[in-house]
Chains A and B, each alone.
Chain A
Amino acid sequence: MDLQIALLLGQDGIVNGAIYALLALALVLVFAVTRVIFIPQGEFVAFGALTLASIQDGKTPGTLWLVLGLSAVVAVVEIVVAARNGLLRRLAGALWWNIAYPIAVAGVIFVAEPQSWPLALQVVLALGLVVPLGPAVYRLAYQPLASASVLVLLIVSVAVHLTLVGLGLLFFGAEGSRTPAFSDASFDWGGVAVTGQTIWVVGASAALMIGLYFFFGRSLWGKALRATAINRVGARLMGISTTQAGKLSFLLAAAIGALSGILIAPITTIYYDTGFIIGLKGFVAAIVGGLASYPVAAAGAILVGLLESFSSFWASAFKEVIVFTLIIPVLVWRSLASRHVEDEE
C-alpha cells in the first residue's frame, strides 16, 4: 500500500463519511426531539435519489402518488380532529399544506415537463416532492403515540420502514438508477484525482452542518427544538408546541435524507432498498455520539466512512462485519463511561 492508494481510500472514506454524518445528524435530531429511533431515515435517501432519476427519465415519480395519498389522509384527520374540538378556523394552514401544495406539485409535474429543466430546478422539485413526506409520516404514525415509550416508537419505526421499502419497490421497481453528475470537473491534487462530485458532496454536507449549527444556535425555531429535546414538559410550559417541534424535526430529517440521496446518486447506483444500509451506518455513527451529541456523531460518521473504505481494501469480504462490529466497543465504552440510569418508564 503506497501513499497514493492511502489518499484515494481516504478520499473515498471522507465522501461516504460525509453522507453518513448527515444521516447521523438527522437521527440524533429526531431522537432528541421526539425520542423516535428513525429507522426509515434511509428510505428518504432512496426516495430522493430515485425521484430525481424518475424526473430525469421523464417518468411520473411514484412518490407523487404517495405525497398525494398521505396528504389527503392527513387533511381528513386534521378536519375530523378540528371539527371535534370546534377549532375549524385554525385549519387554513393544514389545508394549504395538505391539499393545495400537493396538487400544485402534481400540476407542475404533469404540465411543465420537468425533464427538460436545468438540474438545479429538478433537484428542487425532487426535494419538494419528498420532503413533505416527513411531516406527513410524523402526523400519521408518531403524533398519536407521542407520549408512548421508546420501545413502542421503535416498533412503529420498523413498521414505517417496511411499509416505505415496499412502496419503494412498487414505485421504482427492483432495478437501480444513477443520475448525471452535478459537475464533470476533475482536479489533480498531489497525484490524486478528485472529481467535482466529490467536492459537491463534502461541500454540501459541510454547508448543511454549518447551516444547522446556526439554525439551532440563533433562530427561534431552532431554539424551540433544542428546548423540546432538553425537557419536553418544560418546553410546553414555556409555550412551545411539542407537536410542531416533532413535525419540524421530521421535516428536517426528510430534507437531509433526500438531499443526501441526491448527492450520492451520481456516485453510485441507488436501489429502492439502498437507503436502509446507508441509514444503518449513519445509525452506527449516531450511536458513537450517544444519540445526543452532534459533533461526536459527525466525527463518528467520518470514522465509519474511513473504516469502511480501508477495510474494503484489506479484507473486502469482511467489510460490513468490521463496520458494524465497531458498535460493540463503542457501547461497552459508553456503558462504562456513563453512570447507569434506570429507564424513564
Chain B
Amino acid sequence: MKLKIVAAGIAALFAVGVAHADITVGVVVSATGPAASLGIPEKNTVALLPQTIGGQKVNYIVLDDASDTTTAVKDIRKLITENKVDVVVGSTITPNSLAMIDVAAESETPMVSMAASARIVDPGNPKVKWVFKTPQNDIQMSTAIVESMLNSKVQTVAFIGFSDAYGEGWYQEFSKIADARKLKIVANERYNRSDTSVTGQVLKILAAKPDAVLIAGAGTPAALPQKALKEKGYGGRFYQTHGVANMDFLRVCGKDCEGTLLPAGPVLVAAQLPDSNPIKKVAMDYVGKYEAAQGKGSVSTFGAHAWDAGILLQNAIPVALKKAQPGTREFRVALRDALEGLKNVTVSHGVVNMSAQDHLGFDQRARVMVRVENGAWKLTQ
C-alpha cells in the first residue's frame, strides 16, 4: 500500500515536471488605447496560433499594455518573473517595444516585436542580440514610395504625418531617400491622431503646389488629410503608408481614396499574388484562418505580424528543443540562437533570412505597391 502511495507521489511529481516542460510564450499587445486598431487583430491572431510545437504543449499568456510604455515594461517583467516565459512576443508599437528591450536583454529572454521601427533591431545596440521583429522597416517602404513617385514623374512632394514617433520616423526615412533621389519636399506638416480638423495644414500644402502628397498616418485617422485635400480641390497624386492597410480605412475614406498608392506587405493582396510566389500559400492560409474566426473582410496586415512571429517560433522552437528543456536559461539561449539562424522561412509578409546583423531578415519580396480601386486593394505592376 505504502509503495503505491509513494509511486503515486512520484508520478504526481513527474506530472508536475512535465507541466513545467510546457513552452510558455508571453504576448504583450496594445489591445486598448490609441494603438488598439493594431493590437486587437494581433490579439485575435494569437488565439489562432498552434497549441503544440515540436510535440510540446505551448501556453500563450496575453497581456494588454494599453498602448502605454510603462505598462508594457510592467507586463514584460511580470511575464518573465511570475510566468517564467521562454519567449516574449510584442509589443504592438515602437515606443513600447524599445522600452521592453532592456528587460528582455537583462533577463536573457528572446523577444519578437510586432512594431515597425528599424531602431528596435538596430545592430549597433548590444542588447538587440535578444530582439527580433516581424514588420518591415520603414526604409523599405519609403524606398518603394520614392521609386513609384519617380516612375510617375513626380518632382515635388508634400509630407503630412502624425505628430508622434510614427510620423517623425517616416519623415526621417523618407526625406533621406528623397534627398538622395533629387525629389523635392516642399511642405512638411504634422497633425494629431485625434484632430478634428487639418484645415491649416492642408492650406499650407495647397499653397506649395506639390505634384504628390504623402500621408504618414496609421488606420482611419490617415483619411482625414486626404478628405480635406480633396474637399479643397487638390488634384495631385496621393500616397499613404502601410499603416492604413485595413478595411476600416477604406470604409471611412470612401471614394476620396480612389487611386491612392501605398506600399504594403504582400498579405494585404494575398489572393492577387501569382501562384509561383511562395508567400501566397502562407498568406492565404492566414487569411482563411483569421476570416473563419472573425468574419469575412476582417483580416488586416497588423494581425499578420503576430502570425509571422508565430511562424518564426514554430521554426525555431524544434531546433532549441534538441538542446535544452523549456523553462531553463539554456532553452532561452538555444531559442535565441535558433531564431538568429532561421534561413528561407516563408511568412505571410515575405521571406525571412536572419543573421547576427539582421534580426528582421526581409528582402524586397516583403513589400508590394498597392492601389485603391473601387474601394478595394489592388496589386499594381
Contact = CB atoms under 8 A, between A and B. Distances in A.
B196 A316 contact: no
B36 interface: yes
Interface residues of B, number: 31
B205 to A, nearest CB: 10
Nearest to A175: B248
Contacts of B207: 5
A320 B193 CA distance: 12
Interface string B183-198: 0000001111011111
B200 A316 contact: yes
A268 interface: yes
B199 interface: yes
Given A309-B200, A312-B195, 4 more contacts: A175-B37, A176-B220, A312-B200, A313-B203
B181 interface: no
A317 interface: yes
B200 A12 contact: yes
Closest 7 CB pairs of A and B: A312-B200, A313-B200, A174-B36, A175-B248, A174-B37, A12-B199, A317-B190
B201 A176 contact: no
A144 to B, nearest CB: 28
A310 B194 contact: no
B197 A316 contact: no
B252 A177 contact: yes
B194 A277 contact: yes
Given A12-B199, A174-B40, A178-B252, A313 B224 contact: no
Nearest to B199: A12
A264 interface: yes
A12 B219 contact: no
Interface residues of A, number: 36
A326 interface: no
Q: Chain A: interface secondary structure?
A: helix
Contacts of A278: 196
Contacts of A308: 197
Q: Chain B: interface secondary structure?
A: helix
B197 A175 contact: no
By CB atoms of chain A within 10 A, which of B39, B40, B200, B246 has the most?
B200
B200 A9 contact: yes
B223 interface: yes
Interface string B58-92: 00000000000000000000000000000000000
A340 B33 CA distance: 39
Interface in B154-194: 163, 189-192, 194
Interface in A219-243: none
A166 B31 CA distance: 11
A278 B32 CA distance: 20
B289 interface: no
A273 interface: yes
Given A9-B203, A309-B197, A319 B192 contact: yes
B288 interface: no
B367 to A, nearest CB: 24
B34 interface: yes
Interface string A248-277: 000000000000000010011101011011
B365 interface: no
A341 B219 CA distance: 49
Contacts of B190: 316-317, 319
